[in-house]
Amino acid sequence: MGVGATGDARDGSTPDRPTPEPESDRSRLTLHIVIGMVAGLATGVALNMAQAQLPTAVDTFLVEGVFYVGGQVFLASLKLLVVPLVFVSIVCGVASLDDISRLGRVGGKTLVLYLVTTAIAISLALSAAMFFEPGAGFDLTAAQITQKDVAAPPTLTETLIALFPSNPIKAMAEGEMLQIIVFAVLFGMALTMTGGAGKRWVALFNDLNDIILRLVMLLIALAPYGVFCLLARVFAAEGLTAIRPLAAYFALVLGVLVVHALLTYPLMLRLLAGLDPRVFLRKMRPPLALAFSTASSGATLPVTLETVEHRLGVDNSIASFTVPLGATINMDGTAIMQGVATGFIAQAYGIDLGMGDFVTVVLTATLASIGTAAVPGVGLVMLAMVLRQVGLPVEGIGLIIGVDRLLDMVRTAVNITGDATVSCIVGRSEGKFDDRIFSANSE
């Protein structure tokens, strides 16, 4: 179906919708992004190792000059698309629904799946932490414990009230994603109820949607350079030496992330949607690379949405809603870090966690993920909430902070994989999934 067909189906009168770029171009771009990642990683590690030998000016010019500017410009160009894309895309999606009551059903299914996958993720992580005990015998006296400043997390009532924008322009200016989603859904519903005027505006929004998607494609073309700069800078600063004292913790978080991404999601895709997970993962490579490089589900959102709609085949009426919602509230990778970190910190401090604590951690981490933003490092803020809830020392965060940036990259990739998985399952269950797009040859 692609961009063109989706648009045609919506208003039935616009044969001039833009065509998606050919698959061969996409394959080449994906390859270039992977090359950019590997080259960025290698450059960063090499710079980090050669730091002592290199003149400071060279290091500063490259890392804080070229790579910093290149990375930030790329990030900003991704982020600038998020608010207009989410708003316009949801309005189009809601306006194209044949039956408005479908919205409630889709919302319900999506929320349940997001909560269930997060609960599975954190249960897996906690069980692994209990079994492998990465924090047992950890030398607290040798560890550098730094008090982390953590903002108090929002309460449930605050989160509920904050869903509704009193000023949609302010919500957009501040990038308040849940408020933008609520406003866009209401606006889309009003358009479908407004007769001729509504129809004219729906056509306008459909055109705008195509234009914004074209902009997304233009910017994806910069991704190989963007990911190179982002990764070169991160690895030049971080190096890999910080991992050594925390190797057990690092490996366990990575292991559970990989199990969740390569076992839980593929099983769900097969059993609940009858889809081939290998095709799914292959097509997800560009957004996965961006999630890894930016460590931000929010910044990756434009590319995730484009992939879910135009490469995996979920109809705009479902994807426009599920993907932005997922980027905001569904963070399975983050939940996994929290599960392992909670076990690790408890073991390092010699505190036993009982079954009641286990349940509390699962509930708190699942709910905490709803109220926090999809930006780098936010997982630590949520972790503070979880630790406080089970009476563990919040300064324990200082133990794991050294490797958090690296893990953030991997868990963000898992976060967006979860969003795309749930979108496919919901799209398929609603009959809003194009099998031809999904199985269209790619890479």
Binding site for ligand ASP (CB under 6 A): 295-297, 331, 334, 374-379, 408, 411-412, 415
Shortest Cβ distance from residue 223 to ligand ASP (Å)? 17
Shortest Cβ distance from residue 401 to ligand ASP (Å)? 12
Q: Determine the Cα–Cα distance for residues 304 and 89; give it in Å rounded to an integer.
A: 13
Q: Determine the Cα–Cα distance for residues 268 and 112; give it in Å rounded to an integer.
A: 14
Residues 6 or more apart whose CB falls under 8 angstroms from that of 54 comprise: 47
Minimum CB distance to ligand ASP smaller for 379 or for 396: 379
Shortest Cβ distance from residue 90 to ligand ASP (Å)? 20
Minimum CB distance to ligand ASP smaller for 43 or for 417: 417
Minimum CB distance to ligand ASP smaller for 62 or for 337: 337
Shortest Cβ distance from residue 84 to ligand ASP (Å)? 20
The residue written with tokens 């960063």 in the block is 44
Instruction: End-to-end CA distance of the chain: give it in Å, rounded.
Output: 18
Q: Determine the Cα–Cα distance for residues 419 and 324; give it in Å rounded to an integer.
A: 9
Q: Determine the Cα–Cα distance for residues 102 and 104; give it in Å rounded to an integer.
A: 6
Angle of CA points 53, 59, 64, to nearest 5°: 160
The answer to whether the beta carbons of residues 412 and 366 sit under 8 Å apart is: no
Q: Determine the Cα–Cα distance for residues 210 and 213; give it in Å rounded to an integer.
A: 5
Shortest Cβ distance from residue 6 to ligand ASP (Å)? 27
Nearest to 323 by CA among 182, 422, 209: 422
Neighbours of 158 (CB within 10 A): 10
Minimum CB distance to ligand ASP smaller for 212 or for 416: 416
Minimum CB distance to ligand ASP smaller for 216 or for 301: 301
Shortest Cβ distance from residue 154 to ligand ASP (Å)? 16
Shortest Cβ distance from residue 116 to ligand ASP (Å)? 18
For ligand ASP, which residue has the nearest CB? 379
- Write out the two tokens for 390: 């089970």
Minimum CB distance to ligand ASP smaller for 46 or for 237: 237
Minimum CB distance to ligand ASP smaller for 20 or for 71: 71
